[in-house]
Amino acid sequence: MPSFRVETPGRSYDAIVERGAVRRISDFLPAKHGKIFVVTTPDVWDLHRGAFAQIPHNVIFFPGGESKKRLAEVEAMAEQMLAAGADRSSVVVAFGGGIVNDTGGFLAAIFMRGIPVIQVPTTLLAQVDAAVGGKTGVNLVSGKNLLGSFHQPLAVLIDADVLSTLPEREYRAGLYEIIKCGVIRDANLFSLLDEGIAAVLAKEPAVVEQIIATAVRIKAEVVSADEREGGLRRILNFGHTVGHALEAETQYSRFLHGEAVAFGMRVATVLAERVTDLKDAADIDRVIVNYGPIPSLNGVRANNLAKRLASDKKTIQGNVHFVLPVKIGEVTVVSGIDDRVVLESIEAVLSGG
């Protein structure tokens, strides 16, 4: 089964895409290791605890939810670990969605100045995005993911079997990140998502494995070329500039991350028609819309979104950067776009529905 090497200056490791991979944790533990702490949410644990039957472990429950992705929760988990006998030889297994991967990874990054983590993502979004690449962290009141650390895992175990219990809306939210991968780097993946939509939405096993493996390969390649987002890694932000603004504008409660990214990709596609002379805009838009719908955009004001862009974390020295398609499979990073053009592109997608 496919395995993709992620090579970063500090650590190289494999992202394994394989049904049943969750049961292979012991293959990736260091030769000498102490206690294993599984960081997870109660819902995921109730559904999938059986996967851990073969290895001794302690469970650390994280309540889940974006509002709990905070330093205070990390501290509480660290106290629980210590009370259960954790030391420098302990290993964290982050078993859950992206929030668990980020929070559990960050816990491992700072517990006793850093212990190893194995990432075991259980949402589609976390499998193709959050768990690969070593970004860990929590939110501040002032913004998302503002406190964090790069902490590359020992391995990422991606098991499509766990997706059987994932709610349909969460599954589609993850699919948008895979569409993103197709647009930024792989025209074949894009065609597969376009032509194979019925099989993808029906979760046909072979096609699900293929799209996950392709997206993970792309993420592994991009992170290996640029761990810290100095250059190539920025292409992964396609749809995220406006997507983040939409999430913040709606208090992180109306849209799932992937849904906000879907909106952001549509805006970036309209923008690209004017800025990069993109010819494939209609195809990109059609595929994003076909994987919808996303929740209603009623009441969202273009002006407010445009204002938020200026305060986005990705703003570098006052310039908003947009990742824009040049054609399907290729993007470019552009800054200094006229505010009015940005506003018109947001308005075009808002009014088009």
Residue 253: other Cβ atoms inside 10 A: 8
Q: Is 108 in the site for ligand NAD (CB under 6 A)?
A: no
Site for ligand NAD (CB under 6 A): which residue of 39, 64, 184, 306? 64
Q: Is 74 in the site for ligand NAD (CB under 6 A)?
A: no
**Closest distance between ligand NAD and the C-beta of residue 347, in Å?**
27
Q: Is 107 in the site for ligand NAD (CB under 6 A)?
A: no
Q: Is 46 in the site for ligand NAD (CB under 6 A)?
A: no
Site for ligand NAD (CB under 6 A): which residue of 67, 89, 165, 319? 165
Q: Is 240 in the site for ligand NAD (CB under 6 A)?
A: no
Q: Is 181 in the site for ligand NAD (CB under 6 A)?
A: no
Task: List Cα–Cα distances, 191 to 95, 124, 182, 194, in angstroms.
Answer: 32, 19, 8, 5
**Closest distance between ligand NAD and the C-beta of residue 26, in Å?**
21
d(CA 281, CA 1): 35
Residues involved in catalysis: 113, 135, 177, 219, 229, 233, 237, 240, 244, 257
Question: Is the Cα torsion angle 207, 213, 219, 225 positive or negative in sign?
Answer: negative
Q: Which residues contact 345 (CB under 8 A, 6 or more apart)?
A: 267, 268, 270, 271, 274
Q: Is 254 in the site for ligand NAD (CB under 6 A)?
A: no
Q: Is 44 in the site for ligand NAD (CB under 6 A)?
A: yes
Counting beta carbons within 10 angstroms of the beta carbon of residue 256, is it exposed (0 to 12), middle (13 to 18) or buried (19 or more)?
buried
**Closest distance between ligand NAD and the C-beta of residue 176, in Å?**
11
d(CA 272, CA 325): 6
Binding mask 86-105 for ligand NAD (x = CB under 6 A): ----------xxxxx-x---
| Residues binding ligand NAD: number (CB under 6 A) | 28
DSSP 129: I
Q: Smallest Cα–Cα separation from 158: which of 10, 23, 8?
A: 23
Structure tokens that stand for 303 in this block: 């002006």
Structure tokens that stand for 254 in this block: 């109306």
Residue type, 174: G
Site for ligand NAD (CB under 6 A): which residue of 18, 73, 129, 259? 129
Counting beta carbons within 10 angstroms of the beta carbon of residue 196, is it exposed (0 to 12), middle (13 to 18) or buried (19 or more)?
middle
Pick the closer one to ligand NAD by CB: 66 or 347. 66
Q: Is 69 in the site for ligand NAD (CB under 6 A)?
A: yes
Q: Is 125 in the site for ligand NAD (CB under 6 A)?
A: yes
Q: Is 297 helix (H, G, I), strand (E, B) or coil?
A: coil
Task: List Cα–Cα distances, 39 to 32, 77, 80, 250, in angstroms.
Answer: 20, 9, 11, 29
Interacting residues toward ligand NAD by CB under 6 A: 41, 43-44, 47, 64, 66, 69, 96-100, 102, 122-123, 125-126, 129-130, 133, 135, 144-145, 162, 165-166, 170, 257
